[in-house]
Structure 1
Amino acid sequence: MDFQSCLYAIAEELGSEDLAALKFLCLDYIPHKKQETIEDAQKLFLRLREKGMLEEGNLSFLKELLFHISRWDLLVNFLDCNREEMVRELRDPDNAQISPYRVMLFKLSEEVSELELRSFKFLLNNEIPKCKLEDDLVNKSLLGKIEDYERSSTERRMSLEGREELPPSVLDEMSLKMAELCDSPREQDSESRTSDKVYQMKNKPRGYCLIINNHDFSKAREDITQLRKMKDRKGTDCDKEALSKTFKELHFEIVSYDDCTANEIHEILEGYQSADHKNKDCFICCILSHGDKGVVYGTDGKEASIYDLTSYFTGSKCPSLSGKPKIFFIQACQGSNFQKGVPDEAGFEQQNHTLEVDSSSHKNYIPDEADFLLGMATVKNCVSYRDPVNGTWYIQSLCQSLRERCPQGDDILSILTGVNYDVSNKDDRRNKGKQMPQPTFTLRKKLFFPP
Structure 2
Amino acid sequence: MSTEFHKLLFEISEALVTEELAALKFLSLDHVPRRKLEAIHEPKAFLEVLQEKDMIGAGNLFFLKELLYRIHRIDLLTAQLGSSREEMERELRGRAQVSPYRQLLYGIAEDLTSEDVRSVKFLLQKQLPKTKLQENASMLQLFLEMEINGIIKEDNLTMLKDILQRFRADIKKKIDAYEEKKRENYSREEVRYPVSVSVHPEEKGAEGETAKQHGKIYKMKNIPHGYCLILNNHIFRNPRYNREGTLQDGEAVKRVFKWLQFETIEYMDLEGKKIYETIKEYSKKDHRNMDCFVCFIFSHGEKDKIKGVDDECVNIEDLVSCFTGTNCPSLAGKPKVFIIQACQGSVRHPSVAVESDCSGPLEVDASPLTSIPDKADILIGMATVEDYLSYRSRKTGSVYIQSLCEKMELLCPQREDLQTILTEVNNAVAKRELEGSKQMPKITSTLLKKLVFEVPQ
1:280, distance to aligned residue in structure 2 (A): 0.4
Instruction: Write the letter of the residue equivalent to 2:292.
Output: C
- Given the alignment, which residue of 116, 122, 129 partners 2:196? 116
Task: Describe the SS at the equivalent of 1:407.
Answer: helix
Q: TM-score when scaled to structure 2?
A: 0.54
Residue number in structure 2 paired with 1:325: 335
Residue correspondence of structure 1 range 98-113 to structure 2 within 5 A = none
Distance 2:368 2:361 in 1: 30
Question: Does residue 1:335 correspond to 2:345, yes or no?
Answer: yes
SS of corresponding position for 1:327: strand
State yes or no: 1:315 paired with 2:319. Answer: no
User: Is the aligned partner of 1:302 residue 2:382?
Assistant: no
- The equivalent residue for 1:193 is 213
Distance (Å, rounded) in 2 between the aligned partners of 1:253 and 1:262: 24
Distance 2:448 2:213 in 1: 14
**Partners in 1 of 2:209 and 2:270 — Cα distance?**
42
The equivalent of 1:124 in structure 2 is none
Q: Deviations over 1:170-202 (max 9, x none)?
A: xxxxxxxxxxx96xx947xxx71343x111011
- Partners in 2 of 1:361 and 1:242 — Cα distance? 23
SS of aligned partner of 1:209: strand
Q: C-alpha distance in 1, partners of 2:288/2:358? A: 49
Q: Secondary structure at the match of 1:406?
A: helix
- Call closer, same or farther: CA 1:303–1:192 in 2, change over 3 Å: same
CA drift at 1:117? 3.9
Alpha-carbon shift at residue 343 of structure 1 (Å):
2.2
Question: Does 1:442 find its partner at 2:446?
Answer: yes
Partner of 2:281: 271
Q: 1:285 aligns with which of 287, 290, 295?
A: 295
Tell me whether 1:391 sits opposite 2:411 in the alignment.
Answer: no
Residue 350 (structure 1) shift: 5.6
- What's the CA shift string for 1:116-137, capped at 9, x where partnerless? 343xx6xxxxxxxxxxx99979
TM-score, length-scaled by structure 1: 0.55
Q: 1:136 to 1:421 in 2, by over 3 A?
A: closer
Name the aligned partner's letter for residue 358 of structure 1. D
Pair 1:404-2:404 in alignment: no
Match of 2:330, SS state, is helix
Q: Does 2:439 match 1:419? A: no
**SS of alignment partner, residue 212 of structure 2:** coil
Percent identical pairs in the alignment equals 44
1:225 match: none
In the TM superposition, residue 393 of structure 1 has moved relative to its aligned partner by: 0.3
Aligned to 2:258: 248
1:358 is the counterpart of 2:326: no
The 3-state SS of whatever aligns with 2:213 is: coil
Q: When the two structures are aligned, how many residues end up with a matched partner?
A: 261
8 A contact 2:235–2:243 mirrored in 1: yes
> What corresponds to 2:90 in structure 1?
none
CA contact (8 A) 1:328 1:375 kept: yes
How many angstroms does 1:436 deviate by?
Answer: 0.6
Determine the C-alpha separation between the residues in 1 that align with 2:345 and 2:295: 21
Flag structure 2 segments of 5+ consecutive residues without an equivalent: 1-194
Q: Deviations over 1:234-261 (max 9, x none)?
A: 0100000000000111110001100001
Change (3 A) 1:320 1:350: closer
Deviation at 1:435, TM superposition (A): 0.4
Equivalent position SS for 2:420: helix
One-letter code aligned to 1:448: V
Partner residue, 1:373: 379
Could you tell me how far apart the structure 2 residues matched to 1:410 and 1:374 are? 17
Aligned partner of 2:256: which letter? T
User: SS at the partner of 1:116?
Assistant: coil
What is the CA–CA distance in structure 1 between the aligned matches of 2:424 and 2:388, rounded to whole Å?
Answer: 20
- Looking at structure 1, the residues matched to 416 and 386 of structure 2 have their Cα atoms a distance apart, in angstroms, of 27
Whole-Å separation in 1 of the counterparts to 2:339 and 2:358? 28
Deviation readout 1:313-364 (Å, 9 max, x if unpaired): 00000000000000000001111111111123xx22364x311111289761
The answer (yes or no) to whether the contact 2:256–2:405 under 8 Å persists in 1 is yes
- CA deviations 1:2-37 (Å, max 9, x no partner) are xxxxxxxxxxxxxxxxxxxxxxxxxxxxxxxxxxxx
Deviations 1:378-401 (A, max 9, x none): 111111100000000000000000
| Change in 2 beyond 3 A, CA 1:326/1:390 | same
Q: What whole-Å deviation, never above 9, does each CA across 1:127-159 have from its counterpart, x for those lacking one? A: xxxxxx99979x9xxxxxxxxxxxxxxxxxxxx
Q: Counterpart amino acid of 1:401?
A: K
- Structure 1 gaps of 5+ residues are 1-114, 122-132, 140-180, 222-229
Taking a change above 3 Å as real, the CA distance of residues 341 and 250 of structure 1, as seen in their structure-2 partners, is same
Assess, with a 3 A threshold, how the Cα gap between structure 1 residues 135 and 379 changes in structure 2: closer, same or farther: closer
- 5 Å-filtered alignment, 1:182-221, equals 186=209, 192-195=212-215, 197-217=216-236, 219-220=237-238
Amino acid at match of 2:451: L
Counterpart contact for 1:336–1:360, Cα < 8 Å = no
Over 3 Å counting, the alpha-carbon distance change for 1:360 and 1:329 in structure 2 is closer
* Conservation of the 8 A alpha-carbon contact between 1:295 and 1:334: no
Report how far residue 293 of structure 1 moved.
Answer: 2.3
Distance 1:289 1:231 in 2: 10
- Check conservation: 2:370, 2:386, Cα contact below 8 A: no
Over 3 Å counting, the alpha-carbon distance change for 1:363 and 1:392 in structure 2 is closer
Which amino acid in the other structure matches residue 336 of structure 1?
Answer: S
Q: Which amino acid aligns with 1:354?
A: P
CA contact (8 A) 2:384 2:441 kept: yes
**Residues 368-427 of structure 1 deviation map (CA, whole Å, 9 limit, x = unaligned):** 110000000111111110000000000000000011100011111110110001101111
